[in-house]
A and B are shown apart, each in its own frame.
Chain A
Amino acid sequence: AQTVTQSQPEMSVQEAETVTLSCTYDTSENNYYLFWYKQPPSRQMILVIRQEAYKQQNATENRFSVNFQKAAKSFSLKISDSQLGDTAMYFCAFTPIYSGAGSYQLTFGKGTKLSVIP
């Protein structure tokens, strides 16, 4: 079974500063995807960024980037130039890539509550 651990229940960052959210996971699979989802107070789950395990290059999306360390099973999210709208819960998620039952299932961490302070 896969597990996803987010060790920081809450974090805060000053507006315009940079913050890094941590995520570790445990799996015996070799092929998988990792995601960061954002859940603002509106409750909507929004995909922030995706990383394929077979790609060594770290994914980036504008101000969001990841540090993917496959051997260490670590997948951290860096938010640069933090904005007030980044205030939200952030969830790390994992899904294995294989055919058959059990695939396509997202396993989520418990989340990190990020507050951006003006």
Chain B
Amino acid sequence: DAGVIQSPRHEVTEMGQEVTLRCKPISGHDYLFWYRQTMMRGLELLIYFNNNVPIDDSGMPEDRFSAKMPNASFSTLKIQPSEPRDSAVYFCASSLAETTYEQYFGPGTRLTVT
């Protein structure tokens, strides 16, 4: 299996622009998680899905952030408008219900907002 795939690996954008991060989970996995990693706050869970349905989005920082999972093999995290404080590494992870407690991470997207 190719593992969790994220794109792009790096994104540089200007403040105010819309940013879309993409994730393809491991085939057959039914849980998908979005995390943000910063030096100050470490790794934070933003939102997670089960069978394409958002279960808990309490970690989403504000209304500028939105996430969708239109099907079992694709999810997006969108920031509109982006701000410099959104600069971070964003990880997507997936897991299988029977082994839910083991999450497999993608390589992350490093976002820089100038």
Contact = CB atoms under 8 A, between A and B. Distances in A.
Contacts, number: 45
B45 A44 contact: no
Contacts of B31: 104
Given A104-B31, A105-B56, A45 B91 contact: yes
Interface residues of A, number: 22
Contacts of B105: 37, 44-46
B43 A102 contact: no
Interface string B27-63: 0000101000000001101001000000110000000
Interface of A: 33, 35, 37, 42-47, 50, 91, 95, 97, 101-102, 104-106, 108-111
10 contacts: A35-B101, A35-B102, A43-B108, A44-B105, A95-B101, A101-B55, A105-B45, A106-B43, A108-B43, A110-B42
